[in-house]
Structure 1
Amino acid sequence: MPRGYVGGMMALVKYAAGSRRRLLCALLAALAVAPAARAAADPPPFSAAERVIIGAALGLGDHRFDLDDRALSRQVLDYARVEAGQRVRPSRIDSDWALAPPVRDLAAELAVARGTGRLDAWLAALAPPAPAYRALFAARGRYAMTVGVGGWPSVPGGPTLRLGDRDGGVTALRARLAAEGFGAGSGDLALFDTELEAALRAFQDLHGLEVDGVLGPATRAALNVTAAERLAQIDANLERWRWMPHAPPGDRLEVDTGAQEAVLYSGGAAVQRMRVIVGSPKHPTPMFSAQIEAVILNPPWNVPTSIARNELLPTEARRPGYLASMGIRWVDGRLQQRPGPRNSLGVIKFDVPNRFGVYLHDTPAKGLFAQPVRAFSHGCMRLQEPRALALNLLAPTGMSPEALDAGIAAGVTRRLGLAHRLPLYVVHWTARVEADGRVGFRPDIYGWDRKLAAALPKAATSPSQASVLPSRRAPV
């Protein structure tokens, strides 16, 4: 008899000792739950057909027949915890990680799936169905194989190399690019030719670097990130995918702080894409979901206390008149910047109530959008094309471009409510598969990939986490 059941019986007897009637009721209740307790401790044996289904999903091969029922049940639940994103609670690792899947009773789900003959469907539905997840999942297998054979060659230190140079380092560069699928073959391996320059430009573009076709320090450093480190980065991104809803709203805005871009979706299709400036490493933009409620024209900026205390007031003390030159004054006991083209929020702000107090808005500092890595804010998200986004969101209300421009030109703060609130997801992707099948990586500006990798349990039987398993099946 299970130990917990015996302990429960003793507690019930002790509780009911003073009353015969209470004792009888307690014994009846204990007998009623005894079958459930035994079932939990000893699940029904797995049939041969169930073992075949589990072996295919977990990549166990013939090993599925070597495991007793309890061990196999543990393997299935470990796999389910991975694919359903149940291994960790994101906010317990970092308070800025407010995206999380709902908590699930996977043991109960497994019992129901077996009892209804839907084990195969249940296993297949655990992983995110998003094509981007499936593509990254498949790419992980290639990187795991590269790690398994010792990784890829490094590019030794040396001078900056560019088109026309001849150097021993060019041969190493060519081999390194080829190892990750950037074709750079040549009859003269030591010559930095146009084919090699094109391959290097493609690499730079997929790694968030300045695309100049020159092997400089930043590009050399990206090339020398090991295959094992890239594999860990992929695993961190796969885990974050598991925190996302399996069926996100067809109409939504996604802000990706890893790639520093925003994408507007309508009916599930991307209809607008733009660059974004996000929080700096000292002030990371959190991961969260919220709703856009309105468009605010000519917003004032209520300066956060921390920025006023740590930045603006010390500058004013050194340079009297600085605040006035920025249009900043005291209003109701706090600093406020008046509306206008020089306002830090620009001329358009999107009303997104959230517990982090971060904004989605325009900016007067347009030049920063040209930077390959755009992490300069105090956590807010500055949009490259706020006017176009505002027109898209306000179209159902009948807003015309002329009316929007007239409202901005008036210089008066005005709140324009949306016909329907738009879901906003602020996500963080640093690895994604591009159309040509190659994986693009972005710098881990917040150190979140390393932090998540360190927090994930190491013992995992998911095919997307345990590359040592003999065979794997992609999620369907």
Structure 2
Amino acid sequence: MKITTYVIIVFFLSVISFHFTACSDGKTEEHKAERPDTIPQPTKNDITIRGNFSDQRSLKFDKKIIDAFLSRYPKLRSYKKDIDTFYAKRNFAFAWYDNNGLIEQAANLYNRMENISEEGLPDSIPYKDAFTDLMKNDALDSTNTANEFTELMLTAQYFIYARTVWSGLDAKRMKSLDWFLPRKTVSYNQLLDSLLTGKNILDTAPVYRQYALLRAQLKKYKDIESKGGFPTIKADKKTYKQGDSSATIATIRKFLFVTGDLSNDNNSAIFDTTLTIAVKNFQHRYGEKEDGVIGSAILKKMNIPISKLIQQIIVNMERCRWVPVNLVSNYVVVNIPAYKLYVYENDTVAFSMNVVVGQPAHKTVIFNGTIKYIVFSPYWNVPSGILKNEVLPGIRKNSNYLASHNMEWNGGAVRQKPGPNNSLGLVKFLFPNSYDIYLHDTPSKSLFGETNRAFSHGCIRISQPQKFAEYLLRHDSSWTTEKIVAAMNSGKEQYVTLKETVPVFIAYFTTWVSKDGKINFRDDVYGRDKRLADMIFSKK
């Protein structure tokens, strides 16, 4: 039985409440008689799981039932320890029933598992049909008798939900994707304690807030797909711009209306000012140059099948399960596919800047660290790979190579001296890590104007290094703007230890929802989406 859910954005997940039975809160026998004989549709205005788990202790079952249950449903045996611990603490009292039958939370959990595909997960939960039959039979049971197998199935499915939705892929498979952010883990002891004390852990689940925003977009895009998807745009010329007229423009207009970039579709075949603004909106969401002109690159993005975009949303929902949730109020995020650095103050973006990241052959690693040092007028110690493949061949061809590149031997290595042409620019920002990744200035400023900015050997070049230095030193009165500029241009390397360190997260999101509620898409510059999608959609 398929039950439609309505998505409402909250911190973690929205949930819909429907009743198999009334809860025991002093209701009369007349109210108890309102128990439905079919499963009704959900209501739109319930956005959280309300109420606590049953605190009754009169309805109990024999602990031997657990073994009988697991014998019938052997795929759930991996949850035996969790189930045993949970019920031992309750003295084997039912948790999903009270004296009036199933409590409200049972229906909420069932609804989530029934519609787990809306969480961006494969619709392949174990014993889904058996779960449905048990819940349906209980809804039709006029005796209000607590069913041990329904009770245990609910508890097992709850643990499945916790592991699947909150934890995501296992750490070993995650590491194979070169994702080295700290892994969120769900403490089952904490989960069990929360259930026992009546705290509603589903309302405060440890998932990065983008998860809920993407989940709402997933629902939206699935609705669009069910209505036929996006209109296919068949180009009859190479570019379209304001003032042009074509039947294709009418199709483009319809497309932008469906995506939400255009507020009204008047079916006009003329490329007017309103359509120009809509095209710019689309270009902004896709990280393209916002010139309002539709060329081959934009047409290609407009013709991406909605099924692929849905898969992209699901992949990034999975990534949200990996991100540390309890971020401090001030931190820095670099999103590789967006080619952007974001500075957060009080958990709100204070400013952002363009960055250049590693080439596909020299990928920037995904991890996090803490910015501890600023190095003004830095030396650049040439990495061994670049020394072997570029510098030494250059020296063999040109004896003046080192001098012409402002380089010098330093022991058995080569380094580039400080100065405006130094490969690190005038300043670098260090967050000690085993990958030798850091943020730095660059003399190659023109690259920040490119749409695709994957040009480096792995480190991250930032477009506004002085502004970033001023931000990091903003609480140190000894570092004025004038002093920072002087240090950057002194030609003498100077290390500064920050009084207040700042967390930095190097992330990889090819889709996200911006603060204006719009979904953004970016190219999968490192080809990570497909690998992760293969893992997600092949999971058993």
Common topology (TM > 0.5): yes
Q: Identity across aligned pairs (percent)?
A: 30
| Corresponding residue number in structure 2 for 1:65 | 135
Measure, in 2, the Cα distance between the counterparts of 1:448 and 1:426.
15
Residues 360 and 454, structure 2, Cα contact 8 Å, conserved in 1: yes
Q: Letter of the aligned partner of 1:447 in structure 2?
A: G
Q: Which has the higher contact order (CA 8 A, sep 6+)?
A: 1
Offset of 1:87 from its aligned partner?
A: 2.8
Moved more, 121-130 or 293-302: 121-130
SS of 2:409's partner is: strand
Measure, in 2, the Cα distance between the counterparts of 1:297 and 1:127.
39
| Corresponding residue number in structure 2 for 1:416 | 496
Structure 1 position 113 matched with structure 2 position 194: yes
Offset of 1:322 from its aligned partner?
A: 3.6
Measure, in 1, the Cα distance between the counterparts of 2:86 and 2:312.
42
Offset of 1:422 from its aligned partner?
A: 1.5
Measure, in 2, the Cα distance between the counterparts of 1:195 and 1:223.
18
Offset of 1:157 from its aligned partner?
A: 4.2
Offset of 1:458 from its aligned partner?
A: 5.3
| Corresponding residue number in structure 2 for 1:400 | 480
| Residues 249 and 185 (structure 1), Cα distance of their counterparts in 2 relative to 1, 3 Å cut | closer
| Corresponding residue number in structure 2 for 1:470 | none
Q: Deviation digits for residues 60-89 of structure 1, max 9, x if unmatched? A: 699472383343333322322233134332
Measure, in 1, the Cα distance between the counterparts of 2:391 and 2:215.
47
SS of 2:360's partner is: coil
Measure, in 2, the Cα distance between the counterparts of 1:252 and 1:342.
30
Q: Deviation digits for residues 240-275 of structure 1, max 9, x if unmatched? A: 222122210112111111211112223333333211
Moved more, 449-458 or 314-323: 314-323
Measure, in 2, the Cα distance between the counterparts of 1:102 and 1:127.
8
Structure 1 position 451 matched with structure 2 position 531: yes
| Corresponding residue number in structure 2 for 1:366 | 445
Structure 1 position 138 matched with structure 2 position 220: no
In the alignment, structure 2 segments of 5+ residues that lack a partner are: 1-63, 71-83, 117-130, 137-148
Q: Give the one of 418, 424, 430 matched to 1:339.
A: 418
| Corresponding residue number in structure 1 for 2:260 | 181
How do residues 45-124 of structure 1 correspond to structure 2 at under 5 angstroms? 45=94, 46-47=96-97, 48-49=102-103, 50-55=105-110, 58=113, 63=132, 65-66=135-136, 68-89=150-171, 92-94=174-176, 96-106=178-188, 108-118=189-199, 121-124=200-203
In the alignment, structure 1 segments of 5+ residues that lack a partner are: 6-34, 461-476
When normalised by structure 1's length, the TM-score is: 0.81
Q: Deviation digits for residues 398-419 of structure 1, max 9, x if unmatched? A: 2111222222332110101111
Residues 405 and 416, structure 2, Cα contact 8 Å, conserved in 1: yes
Q: Deviation digits for residues 363-396 of structure 1, max 9, x if unmatched? A: 1111111122221111111111111111221233
Residues 249 and 269, structure 2, Cα contact 8 Å, conserved in 1: yes
SS of 1:97's partner is: coil
Q: Deviation digits for residues 9-33 of structure 1, max 9, x if unmatched? A: xxxxxxxxxxxxxxxxxxxxxxxxx
Measure, in 2, the Cα distance between the counterparts of 1:149 and 1:215.
26
Measure, in 2, the Cα distance between the counterparts of 1:254 and 1:429.
11
SS of 1:415's partner is: strand
Q: Give the one of 148, 153, 161 matched to 2:231.
A: 153
Offset of 1:291 from its aligned partner?
A: 0.9
| Residues 59 and 154 (structure 1), Cα distance of their counterparts in 2 relative to 1, 3 Å cut | same
Offset of 1:342 from its aligned partner?
A: 0.3
Residues 259 and 430, structure 1, Cα contact 8 Å, conserved in 2: yes
Moved more, 210-219 or 84-93: 84-93
Offset of 1:346 from its aligned partner?
A: 0.5
| Corresponding residue number in structure 1 for 2:370 | 291
Measure, in 1, the Cα distance between the counterparts of 2:312 and 2:184.
24
SS of 2:163's partner is: helix
Residues 287 and 338, structure 2, Cα contact 8 Å, conserved in 1: yes
| Corresponding residue number in structure 1 for 2:81 | none
